[in-house]
Chain A
Amino acid sequence: MNHDKFAHISDNELLERFYTGHNNEWLGILLQRYTLMLLGTCMKYLKNTDEAKDAVQQVFLKTITELHKYKVDYFKSWLYMIARNHCLMLLRDKNIHIPVEENTYLEDHTTDKAELMEKDYTLTIMEASIEELSTEQKTCVTLFYLQKRSYNEIVETTGYTLMQVKSHIQNGKRNLKLLVEKKMKNN
């Protein structure tokens, strides 16, 4: 099959086609879209190209086997969970220390991305909530999302390291979400 001609078909539709006839070729087209990201993810944890490539192959095989057994609704999140958990298992087998924040096996649940946007957030709540973030988080979130600055620019402007900038943006975003949810509940 020529994979380019399937570019217009969404992940969900490819998955549906696979579930309809259990033809693995649909799965091949779908997985090929994520080969690069899987390689990167496995590289991040295993830090060795050969091991990462082996791990990606294992993830492919596991995906092919598992998807015949049960239905998956959110393929991308599920695939990430499979890849990450596989890498963590390999590291544990080798008794390699894993940092605490990365040491949690992901569970098969869907992300709440759509749910959040479906709710009608008022801009005033958002603006007020940004003010309640810590100074570092407020600075990074404002520079990144409102002033559209790149990671490197924020590093140069604030003097934080790249890791710190990423962390402030991630945590700031999470805290902002919690603050908005809390305010929405109270209203």
Chain B
Amino acid sequence: MADIENILHNEDDLNNEQLIKYLEGKLSEEERHAIEKQMAASSFTNDAIEGLQSIANKKDINLYVDELNRQLHQYTHKHQKKKSKRAIKHLDWIILSIIIVILLCVLGYYVINLHKQNKQPDKTEIKR
């Protein structure tokens, strides 16, 4: 009876390994039916399997997928590297600004001190 309800229930989560085995005809009757039920429930799964079936040498599929995943890895990491580089650049400017402010303070202190020292001999001369 539950089978009747299953007609309108859309299966989900297709395992890539199972999919490859389905393409290679290495699945049991039950497993094959489970995949075909997912095909009937999802256009994505149906299109994907029909497309993969058109690739003559099934062993090439894994090579193509590995190649695409390597490319994907580059895309996601390149964007991330750019982001962190930008963050480092921001940090550089903050540190540089702090150093300049400290240098200005030190310089100011010396100038004021020098000015004070230059003024002191004048006062003793006046006292005499």
Contact = CB atoms under 8 A, between A and B. Distances in A.
Contacts of B51: 39-45, 52
Query: From DSSP, what is the main secondary structure of chain A's interface residues?
Result: helix
Interface in B2-54: 3-10, 12, 14, 16, 19-20, 29-30, 32-33, 36-37, 39-41, 43-52, 54
| Main secondary structure on B side of the interface with A | helix
B76 A41 contact: no
A144 B36 contact: yes
Interface in A137-185: 141, 144-146, 148-151, 166, 169-170, 173, 176-177, 180
A177 B41 CA distance: 12
A139 to B, nearest CB: 14
B79 interface: yes
A111 B12 CA distance: 12
A173 B38 CA distance: 13
Quick one: which of B48, B49, B73 has the most chain A CB within 10 A? Answer: B48
Contacts of A108: none
Interface residues of B, number: 50
B72 interface: yes
23 contacts: A24-B77, A25-B76, A36-B16, A36-B20, A37-B45, A39-B52, A39-B61, A40-B47, A43-B51, A44-B51, A44-B54, A45-B47, A47-B54, A52-B51, A53-B68, A60-B68, A60-B72, A113-B10, A123-B1, A123-B5, A145-B4, A149-B33, A169-B40
Interface of B: 1, 3-10, 12, 14, 16, 19-20, 29-30, 32-33, 36-37, 39-41, 43-52, 54-55, 60-61, 64-65, 67-69, 71-73, 75-77, 79-80
Interface of A: 23-25, 27-28, 31-33, 35-45, 47, 49, 52-53, 56-57, 60-61, 64, 76-77, 79-80, 84, 111, 113, 116-117, 121, 123, 126-127, 130, 141, 144-146, 148-151, 166, 169-170, 173, 176-177, 180
